Structure 1
Amino acid sequence: MDFIRILILLMRMRMIPELLAGLLFAGLLPAEAGNRYAENFVLEQKQSHQLLTIHNPLAGNRAEQRFALVSGEDSPPDLPTDCILLRVPLQRMLALETVPLGYLDALDSLNALAGVGSARYITNPQVKAALEEESIQAVPSGPGLDAETILLLQPDLLLTSASNDPASDLPEALRRNGPTVFATTGYLEPHPLGRAEWLRVFAALLGKSDQANQIFNAVADRYEKLAASTNSLADRPSVFCQAPFAGIWHVPGGNSHTAQLIADAGGVYLWADHPGSAGIPLDLERVFLRAAQADVWLHPGVHRSLKALLAADPRLQRFHAVQTRQVYNNTRKANPQGGNPIHEEALVRPDILLADLIHILHPDCLPEHEPVYYERLP
């Protein structure tokens, strides 16, 4: 009897669920669809739990954190010994940076925040209102991290950004008695959609995987369609980025998410040939040699006007993009304290970032698009 006949017989016997469970347990069916773009996490569905592995490109041989996500109060016998147990859905998270806010907001889960660091940089209106009402606690972050306040809040998880050794950056009291540290590495993803796909990580912590998959797939599909729309364009403006600070100009590497966005928007990034994603430290003269005649200048530091840009360094007037007033920054929605939703909500919406950039580089392609995050420097 062939496989199809066996399958029909099993359906008639109502044994399909048992068959699938057996195949999954035996490892004959994929437990979880792989990531479409993200490189820094792996989420696997096991029989009794989800196994979440976080890769940290900054940490060399110490490159992984592994978490066993267990529903409720279950005590599965098959948990790996090298994992940290997290009981999900989590109820009380503490975010030391603004990055997690965009993911939590997209999942309608800001109520899972017990506290936040970097409060002055937050742009999310719900979180700002909760801070004023003190339903979310502001926690000093950075070198003055307040261990006592964090311990009193009793969070399930302490969300921080990855470093060479995230735990070593914490005060001794937190390392000894504090909550589990979860070092996010989504901001190190080289593709904008890789950053957005970290929505699946936060959804796994919150028990909202179906919602995350729907949101991410819709964003990815729109991004891919926008990127495809620029493939056949013959005219591709040349682009450079960033601005000098303290005499050093850090331009993004050719494998950075910025380079990817520019390419997908139909531009030619002038350092696309440079390997790696990290910033390349250069002096102004070396940048000028390559970018003097570039068509467009993006992300000129904190500057929001040409007057402020040239006041910082009058030599920047020599760039063609300045002379033609083709200088743009992603500061349209930034607050006076320097907070910017680019580091919150936009992480989940790279399709909007891409639409903004296509509108800048090829305005005829999206004539009705109203920029959301980008503005031209007046």
Structure 2
Amino acid sequence: MVQNVYNEKVKHFRTALIAALSVFFLLAGCASGDNDSVSAQVAPDDSLRRIPFRYAKRLTMTKIGDATLIDIVKPRGAMHGLAYRYLLVPKGAAVPEGYPDALMVRTPVEKVTCGIGLHVTMLEELGILDSIVGIGRAEWVGNPEILRRLDSGKIIETGMSNAMNMETMVGLQPDLAFVYSSGGEYDVHEQLLAMGITPAVTCMHIEEHPLGVLEWIKFFGAFFGKEAEAEAFFAQTAERYEALERRVRGRFGERPGVIVGHGARGVWSTHGSSAWFIGFLQDAGADYILEDPEDYEENLISFEHAMSVGLRAEYWVNPLYTAMSLSDLVDDDSRYAQFLSVWKGNVFNNNAATFENGKNAFWEIGMSEPDVVLADLVRIFHPELLPDHELKYYRRLVK
């Protein structure tokens, strides 16, 4: 009998110890801002349900009853990116306990500001363009409806990054401010918080796959109660992209060498064509030879290295964004005339699609239809695989 009581006490002690250690490691996981995964940050519970993400690696979402826990994840050891946590709670619902490090947001939000054109496109695809009351810079947006509302005063220009006008933001009093964030000196989410404005930091630009960028539409949808619409849009687009990728996979033969970007002031810039763009090139049957794709993070490369690689690269894409001809490139730097891609006429710029105001549509709406961008690139590198496809976002530069 005594032994049974003793065994029962030991059993309860072990259970309590395991529970205590679980809480300790849970809190330790929450304290870290440099994790590849935040799975350890959410304790197992029958009321918790992880929302699946197929491509996005910088974002996780977990349902806690009716609430949603969102974790933005910084890549391990990377210079770019940041860690951030939100707890989205429906209006009138109780706030779940145990998440003191999360920024609580009541949903659905009604008034928002956007920093860049891609934010606008995400909201337009969800049918909530009317929620936008402020935009970062008018010249960085091409959406005609947004421009009309700017002209009529229904939408206000707020400035962006460290040039954001905080007085204007306070006057607008948005429920949420979508801001482009990289974990660098130009981020403004802390200043917004100090002004009583909730920032929604977006880091999709450091995703590793174009569908990873698009999958951030689930982040936007969650703040508006549009989770189902976001999932449906992503799933349909991903299905088209994957079908094309499967169709051409293994039919490439040789992968031609490709460089991206152009030189300026002694360095080579890839214009924000980060790891996700390398994913495009790989799926389109090209070989990105400007640098090691596995180590890719920064956008600035040694000009001398880029020039040496450019001499042998068969293709050159996304060069000087204003270039409409090979002459424009050579006029910018006469050494480009020595590039193999220039000799062969294999230079393609992603400035073929524009809005009414002349703004390039690639960066604003191209990422919402990555299947079309992929088709363009396949047509460029392996025209025999898509002989009937007409380029939408790309143009071949000629003399």
**Do Structure 1 and Structure 2 share a fold, with TM-score over 0.5?**
yes
SS of residue paired to 1:205: helix
* Partner residue, 2:64: 46
Contact persistence 2:267–2:301 (CA under 8 A): yes
Given the two structures, how large is their TM-score scaled by the length of structure 2?
Answer: 0.81
Tell me the percent identity.
Answer: 28
**Quick one: which of 217, 221, 226 aligns to 1:199?**
217
Cα drift, residue 351 of structure 1: 1.1
**Quick one: which of 308, 315, 319 aligns to 2:335?**
315
1:241-289 Cα offsets, whole Å, 9 max, x none, are: 1111112113599981121111100112214634323236444442243
**Quick one: which of 385, 391, 394 aligns to 1:365?**
385
* Partner residue, 1:68: 87
Cα drift, residue 94 of structure 1: 0.9
SS of residue paired to 2:262: coil
Tell me which amino acid in the other structure corresponds to 1:37.
Answer: Y
* Partner residue, 1:345: 365
SS of residue paired to 2:179: strand
Q: Within 2, Cα distance between the matches of 1:245 and 1:143?
A: 23
- Is 1:120 the counterpart of 2:151? The answer is no
SS of residue paired to 1:357: helix
Give the 3 Å change call, closer, same or farther, for CA 35–77 of structure 1 in structure 2: closer
Cα drift, residue 121 of structure 1: 1.6
1:62-102 Cα offsets, whole Å, 9 max, x none, are: 94211111112223343511111111111111112223111
Cα drift, residue 321 of structure 1: 0.9
- Is 1:333 the counterpart of 2:358? The answer is no
Cα drift, residue 338 of structure 1: 7.6
Q: Within 2, Cα distance between the matches of 1:365 and 1:30?
A: 45
- Is 1:85 the counterpart of 2:94? The answer is no
Structure 1 residue runs of 4+, over 6 Å off? 58-62, 252-255
Structure 1 spans left out of the alignment, 5+ residues: 1-24
Contact persistence 2:80–2:184 (CA under 8 A): no
Given the two structures, how large is their TM-score scaled by the length of structure 1?
Answer: 0.85
1:115-160 Cα offsets, whole Å, 9 max, x none, are: 1011112111221122122222222334442211111111011111
Structure 2 spans left out of the alignment, 5+ residues: 1-42
Tell me which amino acid in the other structure corresponds to 1:71.
Answer: P
Q: Within 2, Cα distance between the matches of 1:61 and 1:145?
A: 21
When the two chains are superposed, the root-mean-square deviation of aligned CA atoms in Å is 2.8
Tell me which amino acid in the other structure corresponds to 2:233.
Answer: I
Q: Within 1, Cα distance between the matches of 2:367 and 2:112?
A: 19
Cα drift, residue 168 of structure 1: 6.2
- Is 1:180 the counterpart of 2:198? The answer is yes
Structure with larger RCO (C-alpha < 8 A, sep 6+): 1
Q: Within 1, Cα distance between the matches of 2:272 and 2:156?
A: 37
* Partner residue, 1:151: 170
1:277-331 Cα offsets, whole Å, 9 max, x none, are: 3236444442243332322110112222211111011110001111111111111
Contact persistence 2:161–2:188 (CA under 8 A): no
Q: Within 2, Cα distance between the matches of 1:129 and 1:143?
A: 26
Give the 3 Å change call, closer, same or farther, for CA 77–197 of structure 1 in structure 2: closer
Contact persistence 1:257–1:277 (CA under 8 A): no
